[in-house]
Amino acid sequence: MEQNQHTYNLRVILIAVLIWEVVFWSVYFGLYFFLIDQVEAFRFEWEAALWGLLSIPLFLSGYLFLIRWKNTVLERLADNRLIPFLTQPVSSIKSFWRFFFFRNALTFLIIALANPQFGKGTTKAVSEGIEIMVALDISNSMRALDLDPKRDRLQVAKMAIEQLLNNLHGDKVGLVLFAGDAFVQLPMTTDYGAAKIFLNSVSPEMMSNQGTAIGEAIDECMSSFDFENGVNKSIIILSDGEDHEGSATMMAEQAYSENVIVSTVGMGTPMGTPIPDIKNGQYVGMKKDKDGNTVTTRLNEAMLKEVANAGGGAYTAAQGTYVNLSGLLDSIRSIDKTEMESKLYTDYKDYFQWFLGFGLLCFVIEFFISERRSGIIHKLQEL
């Protein structure tokens, strides 16, 4: 029960808001990734509009600030004994429900703007290509600025992958990220635009276990292939080659024995260079070891060449911000292409109107909710 029924119970409101936010974002991300990854017929026509959902935490912060400001102003306005004669009793729960409907109205309108769609007409398309898994090193050593003083190794590697995507035609591509561990960031797809979106979001913060486990990255790539479809396959590894596991060559040989060609791209220079220490997105100096010495990193070109040789592929090295992929692309093009059949949707049905309707309904409900405490509830709480 509130001690002062003329001010808001910030604690109650905060708990209610946090519970709903946890529920909402859990459901949202669960449904989003399920629909995008598992429901082939589903898409957002304007997916970039979903970034507008980032405005929700701003409205939430503004709402909590406003409630606290109202309480502060009211407490300064008059003595507690006089406040009941100057203001009406307010309900913290009703205040939360007003914000609840306002916040969800914005959510529905943003989703409506993105326009969820389901495909309703299909056709079969046949293209020739291969399956390519790109393994990208995102360990801390990829922050080194030895290739370019303005771009670290990872940024140059991402530029190289984008260049690779621009030169692919009909091939399927997937993305594996690795450091001390490895995981699939993007399953096999022919949507190069989606691949670029996933690529842009990559950063070393996505991996808590540091190291450079190239062998695990190859194994993760191999697990992503469908070896029953008869399509030829290739793995491309972009790394500085500082492998801390020692199984890379063996895994490349095993991959080649299963007719998967493994190529490597060296990111860095053979000279030792310090690793910038980044915390919370801010540069705080150079990385130090436990003895206070500056940690350096260098390109292990010999190891990357060894992996490429074991995998039957090609090796190339970055030169500044330029990565000459012509030799690597030639080796990919020399792989026999396989006809791949895919289902394309020729027409989509819009569902934005449902979310638009829910959004407007939430606005109407929010408009008719008063923050004034109900007379019946007010009398019951006075008993």
% of the chain residues with pLDDT over 70: 83
Residue 333 has pLDDT above 80, yes or no: no
Is the model's pLDDT at 223 over the cut of 70?
yes
CA distances to 47, 118, 138, 226, 277 from 192, rounded to whole Å, are: 15, 20, 21, 19, 32
Most confidently modeled range among 7-16, 40-49, 238-247, 296-305: 296-305
Q: Can you give the pLDDT at residue 310?
A: 94
Pick the range with the lowest mean pLDDT from 49-58, 150-159, 280-289: 280-289
Fold of 124-342: Rossmann fold (3.40.50)
Top-ranked range on mean pLDDT: pick from 49-63, 202-216, 269-283, 289-303: 49-63
Domain ranges of the chain: 10-115+351-382, 124-342
Q: Is the pLDDT of residue 378 over 50?
A: no
Higher-confidence residue: 3 or 17?
A: 17
Instruction: Say which residues have a Cβ less than 8 Å from residue 181's Cβ, sequence separation at least 6.
Output: 207, 209, 213, 216
Per-residue confidence (pLDDT) for residue 211, from 0 to 100: 77
Which residues have CB under 8 Å from 291's CB, separation 6+?
Answer: none
Confidence of residue 71 (pLDDT cuts 50, 70, 90): confident
pLDDT value at 84 more than 70: no
Mean pLDDT, range 239-268, rounded to an integer: 88
Q: Which neighbouring-strand residues pair with 42? A: 118
Nearest residue to 251 via CA among 215, 223, 224:
215
Relative orientation angle of helices 10-38 and 92-114, to the nearest 10 degrees: 20
Whether residue 369 has pLDDT greater than 60: yes
Q: What is the pLDDT of residue 371?
A: 74
Cβ contact 13:71 at 8 Å: no
More confident call, 350 vs 341? 350
Residue 227 has pLDDT above 60, yes or no: yes
**pLDDT beyond 70 at 222:** yes
Over residues 137-142, the mean pLDDT reads 91
Residue 373 has pLDDT above 50, yes or no: yes
Does the pLDDT at position 85 exceed 60?
Answer: no
CA atoms within 13 A on the CB side of 48: 3
165-216 tens-digit pLDDT: 888 877 889 999 999 889 999 998 888 888 898 898 898 888 877 778 899 9
What average pLDDT does range 133-158 have in this prediction? 92
Q: What is the pLDDT of residue 47?
A: 84
What torsion, rounded to 10 degrees, do the Cα atoms 224, 227, 230, 236 define?
Answer: 40
CA 282 vs CA 137, 279, 287, 343: distances in Å: 21, 5, 13, 45
pTM metric for this prediction: 0.58
CB 297 within 8 A of CB 275: yes
Token digits of residue 277: 């220490």
Least confident of 41-50, 338-347, 364-373: 338-347
* Secondary element (H or E) of residue 138: none
Q: pLDDT at residue 240 above 50?
A: yes
> Mean pLDDT, the chain, as a whole number?
82
pLDDT at 133: 94
**Mean pLDDT over residues 37-59, rounded?**
85
Q: Is the pLDDT of residue 158 over 90?
A: yes
Among 165-169, 257-261, 341-345, the least confident range: 341-345
Q: How far is residue 136's CA from residue 129's CA, in Å, rounded to a whole number?
A: 22
Distance CA 276, CA 347 (A): 49
Q: What is the pLDDT of residue 237?
A: 95
pLDDT at res. 206: 86
Cα dihedral 354, 360, 363, 367 sign: negative
Q: Average of pLDDT values for 262-290?
A: 83
Predicted confidence at residue 2, as pLDDT, reads 40
Does position 338 have pLDDT exceeding 60, yes or no? no
- The DSSP output letter for 258 is T
Q: Tokens standing for 111? A: 């989703």
